[in-house]
Amino acid sequence: MPSTPIDLTRPIVHVDIEPGGTIILRGAFHSTHDGSVVDAATTTWLSAAPGGSSVDSDGLFDLEGGGFHLVSRNPDTHEVVAVATSGPAEACNAYHVRSPCLALRTTHQANRRMMTTEEWTRSLQGGMQLEVQAAPVYAPVASLADKVKPYLMAAGVLLLVGVGAVLAGRAWRRHTRSARSQMLRLAATLREKAARADPILAAPLAPALEGALRAIHERKVDPESAEGKRVFEVLRRVETHLDEKVARDKADDERAAADDLVRQVEVALEAAGEAAQIARARTR
The structure's pTM equals: 0.47
* Residue 280 pLDDT level (bands cut at 50, 70, 90): confident
Per-residue pLDDT for 146 more than 70?
A: no
Domain ranges of the chain: 3-132, 178-284
Which of 41-45, 216-220, 233-237 has the largest mean confidence? 41-45
Phi-psi region of 175 (alpha: psi -120 to 50; beta: other; left: phi over 0): alpha
The SS3 call for residue 197 is: coil
DSSP state, 58?
A: -
Per-residue pLDDT for 135 more than 60?
A: no
The residue type at 113: R
The residue type at 184: L
Helix residue ranges, H only, 114-225 = 117-123, 139-148, 154-177, 179-196, 199-217
The SS3 call for residue 144 is: helix
What pLDDT sits at residue 16? 94
The SS3 call for residue 222 is: coil
The SS3 call for residue 84 is: strand
Cβ(179)–Cβ(224) below 8 Å:
yes
